[in-house]
Amino acid sequence: MSVEQNPLSRRQFVARAAAAGVAVSVAGSVEALYTAQPALGTSGPKIGYGPLIEDPNGMLDLPRGFSYKILSREGTVRPDGLKTPSRFDGMGTFSDRDGGARLVRNHECSPTATIKVVAPPERTYDPGAAGGTSTLVVDRHNNATKEFVSLGGTAINCSGGITPWRTWLTCEETELKAGDPAGYTKDHGFIFEVDPYDDRRNDNPTPLTAMGRFQHEAVAIDPATGIVYETEDAFIAPLGGFYRFLPNRPRGGWGSLRAGGELQAMYIPGLPDLSVVQEAGAEFGGVQWIKVPDPLATTVSVRAQDYGKPITGGYKLEGCWWGTRDRCVYFVSSFARTELGPKVNHDGQVWRFDPRKKTLRLEVIFTRPSPGSDDPEFDAPDNITMSPYGGLMMCEDGLGEQHILGTTEDGEVFKFARNRVNNGTPEDPEFGELAGAGFSADGRTMFFNVYTPGITYAITGPWRRRR
C-alpha cells in the first residue's frame, strides 16, 4: 500500500464534524471525483444551496428556489387498471424527444411486497417472482405522460446501470433458486436488459447468465472496451466482490451481452477486505483479475468459490459509475460493521479503479464523528451520481432522517433534500431510503425515488447558484 501525499486541491474534502455532524477524510487531490464526467460546470456551489425550507405539505424539504413535482406514487391505478408496484429503488434516466425524459425504475419486490409487479406474460421471466421495472415517459414540463411495466417476474431489482447504447441493465439482488420457499420457478440473481424506447424488445426477458448469478447491485461500462464492472451487495459472509465482465461482443448494442463472455473477480495481493483501508488517498497497484470458476453459482456462491487465493471484497458494495473524462470506474461501499463480517468499521467509502494503471484508490471515506458513535448525522451513502454542475449527489440509505447530500467546490458535505414522508428506524431501516438519483440531459431536472411508500420526484431550481 502507498499513500499519496500530493498537494491538496481546492476541491479537497474537509472535516465538518462540529458544524454538520459528518467527518469526511480525504488525502491528496480529489479532482477526479468532480471532473470524472463532462459537466456544465465543475466547481459545484460555494457553500451548498442554503438551508432546507420546511415543506408545508410534509413531503420533501428543499433549499429556497427549488421545487418538486411528484411523477409517480405507489398504489396509483394506471390506465391499464393495475396499481403502481411497491419498493422504488435504482433508476436510469434517458433523454427523450422534445426535451423530455424516459425513466426506467426498479421495483425491489419480493413475494412479501405490498403491491407486486404484474407484467404481461410475454414480458414475465418467472411467474413466481414479484419484482421488475416500470418505464415512465416525462415531457419537457416534467409531466408524466405515460407509465407501464417494462419487465416482470424478476426478484429484488435493486440498482443497475445505463449502457453506452442507451438501455438499462437492471440487477437482481438475490441468490435464490427455483424451488425456494419464496415460490420461484426459475433461478434468480441475474442482470436483465431493458430498452426504454422500444418496448417490443422487452418481450421474452432473457437473463444475462454469463455476467454471473449473485447479489447484484450496480454496473458501469467502459465505452471504449465494452468491459462491464459489477458490484455485489453481499450482507452475509463472505464479503461481496467487485467483478468485471469481458463480453464476446465488446462493441455493444441491444442484446450484445447475451453473446456471453468471461466473468472475473478483482484480486489485490494482501488486501482481502476493503474495510481495513481507513486513510483516504491510499492506493494499491498491481490489481489482478481472476476468472470466476462457476458464474452460475451452481452449488457455491460466486464470492465463496475456490479462486486459489482470497479475492478482494467489501461489505455492501453498491453504487457504481463510469468516469467518461478520466476513464476510471468508481464504486461505493455503503458502510461496514465488524459484527457483520468486515474487519473495521466505516460509514461509507468511494473507490476509484484505473484500468490503465491497474490501481485502486480510496477517494472518500465517511468516518464516525466520535468514537463509539452509532448515529452519525450522515451515513450509508448508496446511489451516487455526478452533478452536471460539479460535485457528487448522494442518496442516503441509513438510519434516522434520510437526505440527498451534495458536495461544494471545496468538497464540504451539505444537505440538498430531506425526506419528510417517513424516515428509517432501527426496526425498519430501509423505510425512508432514497435512491435512483439522476439528471436530465439538459441538467435542469434531477429525478430520484423514495423507497417506500414509493414516490418518484422531479426537482428543478437554481442549480447554477454559487452562493
**Domain ranges (residues) in the chain:** 1-85+368-467
Structure-model confidence comparison of residues 314 and 1, the more confident one: 314
Q: Give the DSSP letter of residue 17.
A: H
User: What contacts 294, CB < 8 A, 6 or more positions away?
Assistant: 300, 302, 305
Give CA–CA dist 222/356, Å, rounded.
12
Peptide bond just before 207 cis, omega within 30 deg: no
Rounded average pLDDT over 208-222: 97
Examine the pLDDT at 333 and tell me if it is beyond 70: yes
pLDDT higher than threshold 90 for residue 257: yes
Could you tell me if 154 and 183 are in contact, meaning their C-beta atoms sit under 8 angstroms apart? no
Cβ atoms within 10 Å, residue 385: 21
Q: Report the C-alpha gap between 115 and 226 in whole angstroms.
A: 36
Give the rounded percent of residues in the chain with a pLDDT score beyond 70.
Answer: 83
Residue 154 in this model has a pLDDT that exceeds 70: yes
Q: List Cβ neighbours of 230 (8 Å cut-off, separation of 6 or more).
A: 171, 191, 211, 212, 216, 217, 218, 219, 242, 243, 244, 245, 320
Mean pLDDT over 152-162 rounds to 97
Query: Model's pTM, two decimal places?
Result: 0.90
Closest-CA residue to 157 (of 129, 198, 128): 129
pLDDT of 368: 57
Contact in structure between 130 and 118 (CB atoms under 8 Å)? no
Give the integer Cα–Cα distance in Å for 418 and 409: 21
Which alpha helices (DSSP H) does 82-186 contain, by range?
none
Contact 109, 134 (CB under 8 A): no
Let me know the angle formed at the C-alpha of 435 by 399 and 461, rounded to the nearest 5 degrees. 110
- Quick: pLDDT tens for 351-403: 999 999 999 999 878 765 544 444 445 555 667 787 887 777 888 776 678 88
Task: Give the mean pLDDT of 326-342.
Answer: 89
* pLDDT at position 416 over 80: yes
Q: What pLDDT score does 383 carry?
A: 75
Identify the CA nearest to 265 among candidates 234, 236, 235.
234
> Residue 78, CB half-sphere, CA atoms under 13 Å: how many?
21
How far is it between the farthest Cα atoms of the chain?
Answer: 60
pLDDT exceeds 60 at position 305: yes
List the end-to-end C-alpha distance of the chain, in Å, as a whole number: 39
Average pLDDT of the segment spanning 393-416: 78
